[in-house]
A = this chain, B = another copy of it.
Amino acid sequence: MLGAMAKAKAKQRSERREEALSRERIVEAAIEILDAQGEAGLTFRALATRLATGPGALYWHISNKEELLVAACDVVVANTLPEISARATPRKALHGIALGVFEMLDAHPWLGAELVRNPSPTAMLQIFERIGRQVQALKVPERAQFTAATVLGSYIISESRQNAANGRLYNPSPDRTEFLEQLAAQWQALDPDAFPFTRNAAKQLREHDDRAEFLAGVDLILAGIGASVGGARHD
């Protein structure tokens, strides 16, 4: 009897195109909310409303919010990373991975925040492996591969996250130019005795291009890796 009623309800749902609740659907809806409203917008109440149910129902499928966020990270990373196309050389491949992560976090600013606050082992592993394979292809001595991949991963993720936090400013917008101009002015107004370096660096800020600067950082690390290989070039 109960079975029949459950079936009836399921049928009713599918007729209305309201699929049954599932972990996948919940995570999917969470990602949509995160992308649209940011981290502050993701509450169990908002999520339940969107899924036309009560907040308690979600807990049948997901233990808590932390697990929900980790699952959201895993899905986005698993969907986005394979889209990064193959390249002819390890160096170009690493540029591709770096830009891929950069754009991924730019498109999902909450992802960068979550990736450093509470890194999903699964998501981090995907990125680490991708980077590591190219490090291997660069013929880095085995002993030095772990360090090389860690430094690259650390820089790529933290700098991409920072860029995303600056507000989806991948394409130089007037806002961003204005912001950099203001920052440069602030730096130039610093006490020359206390902040000689920063004050001087203000010049570079005025011709700053987030994306180019990011890749210059990657290249600097690649130069360091190259030095350990013996100065050989790998373009």
User: Which of B116, B194, B198 contacts A158, CB < 8 Å?
Assistant: B116
| A223 neighbours in B (Cβ, 8 Å) | 223-224, 227-228
Q: Is the CB of B154 within 8 A of A159?
A: yes
Interface-side segment among A46-54, A98-106, A132-140: A132-140
Is A155 on the interface with B (CB-CB < 8 A)? Answer: yes
| A123 neighbours in B (Cβ, 8 Å) | none
| A113 neighbours in B (Cβ, 8 Å) | 117
Q: How far, in angstroms, from A117 to B208 measured CA to CA in the complex?
A: 23
Total number of A residues with any Cβ neighbor in B under 8 Å? 50
Q: How far, in angstroms, from A200 to B202 measured CA to CA in the complex?
A: 44
Q: Is the CB of A151 within 8 A of B204?
A: no
Q: Is the CB of B117 within 8 A of A198?
A: no
Interface-side segment among A1-9, A15-23, A67-75, A212-220: A212-220
Chain B nearest CB from A183 CB (Å) reads 9
Q: How far, in angstroms, from A155 to B147 measured CA to CA in the complex?
A: 12
Q: Is the CB of B198 within 8 A of A128?
A: yes
Q: Is the CB of A213 within 8 A of B149?
A: no
Q: Beta-carbon contacts of A185-214 to B below 8 Å, as 1s and 0s?
A: 000000000111110110011001000010
Q: Is the CB of B195 within 8 A of A125?
A: yes
Q: How far, in angstroms, from A223 to B145 measured CA to CA in the complex?
A: 15
What are 29 contact pairs spanning A and B, CB under 8 A?
A113-B117, A117-B117, A129-B196, A129-B197, A132-B201, A133-B196, A136-B200, A144-B220, A145-B201, A145-B204, A146-B204, A147-B217, A147-B220, A149-B197, A150-B159, A150-B217, A151-B155, A154-B154, A154-B155, A154-B217, A158-B158, A220-B228, A223-B223, A223-B224, A223-B228, A224-B224, A224-B225, A224-B226, A227-B227
Give 4 A-B pairs besides A147-B216, A151-B155 with Cβ atoms closer than 8 angstroms: A116-B158, A147-B213, A155-B155, A223-B224
